A and B are shown apart, each in its own frame.
Chain A
Amino acid sequence: MKSTSSQLICLLLVAMFLGLVRNLVPANSIEYIGNWRTLSSGDEPIVPPTAGEGDPPFISIDVAQMEHSLGEAVFIDAREGAEFECGTIPGSISIPFEYLPDENIDLYVDSALGGMSKDRDMIIFCSGEECDLSLHLARNMQDFGYTNLMIFFGGAREWENFDLEIERRTECGE
């Protein structure tokens, strides 16, 4: 028993040592204590750890709801078509990031948005905090010249969790 517990501690100590030493190698090293958000409250926007400088602003559920009720901004769902059909923020346009064509993506996006002005307010979202599709789509759209983009990173799940209306085109299981 004593031998087992000393082996447990020994393995852990060696793993700690190797992990800390490996992180001294600059390639793919990370901060020893990261700055990770813990919860979404609705008061503040959810900002993913992958967000970078120059990304469009992230908005909270409150701002997303306000924009939706004003009806000025266009909501863009970056998830795949099946998820969009199952339930999305009402009036959203589907641009499934993972199924974008290999070429002429800008023309595809312009077409999906019906050629609307590139300085129109647009709010991009996907499933929720585990989903980066909205961020990737927003970065692409920035490159295509869209200037007033926002990312609602709480996504469809946070929208639904706040008991806001969901538009369902097909009935889907949970």
Chain B
Amino acid sequence: MRRIIDNDFLTLLVRIGVGIIFVYASAYKIVEPGSFAKSIWYYHMMPGSFINPIALILPWLELLVGLALVFGVCYRGAVVWANLMTVAFILALSSAIVRGISIDCGCFKAAAASSESAWETLWFDLVLILFTIQLFLSRSKAWMLARH
């Protein structure tokens, strides 16, 4: 098991795949922070004054983490952030589902234009976290721009 997790080629594939997902997910949010703020508001999980700062900062964090994973720069920090953000997304979606809030999650598109359901995205995130955990556990340091 350890050898599979540490496999250089597997780790590279997962790094690039997860990195691209984070970069892709950040795109609309960076362009339309207002729509993303509204998506966050729909979850009713935090005080209103926190919503806009998160809508402004989180997309850039996603972008930086995605790029850091792909290129292997600030790698360990990016892996930890990828895990933390994925856990946060899972908790938010689960909470919305439990409370019966039928939302488009706003994960990849503005909520109003999105067709993804909370359930579909929750399953997606549950698969995603398996990959981010693999990155967290892997000791592979191959094909990275910066030495770690």
Contact = CB atoms under 8 A, between A and B. Distances in A.
Asked if A and B are interacting partners, one says yes
Contacts of B27: none
State the main secondary structure of chain B at its contact with A. helix
Interface stretch (B2-10, B55-63, B137-145): B55-63
Contacts of B44: 38-39, 129
Interface residues of B, number: 41
B42 A130 contact: yes
Residue among A12, A36, A157 facing the most chain B CB atoms (10 A cut-off): A36
A50 B77 contact: no
A83 to B, nearest CB: 10
B51 interface: yes
Given A15-B63, A127-B102, A129-B44, 15 more contacts: A7-B75, A7-B77, A8-B77, A10-B77, A11-B68, A11-B77, A11-B81, A16-B57, A18-B64, A19-B59, A30-B55, A33-B49, A34-B51, A36-B41, A49-B37
A38 B48 contact: yes
Contact of B42 (A9, A28, A34, A129): A129
Interface of A: 3-12, 14-16, 18-20, 22-23, 28-39, 49-50, 127-130, 132, 157
Interface of B: 30-34, 37-38, 41-42, 44, 47-49, 51-53, 55-61, 63-65, 68, 74-78, 80-81, 100-103, 111-112, 148
A128 B77 CA distance: 39
A100 B26 CA distance: 33
A44 to B, nearest CB: 14
Contacts of B100: 157
Contacts of B75: 7
A49 B55 CA distance: 15
B57 A37 contact: no
Contacts of A3: 76, 148
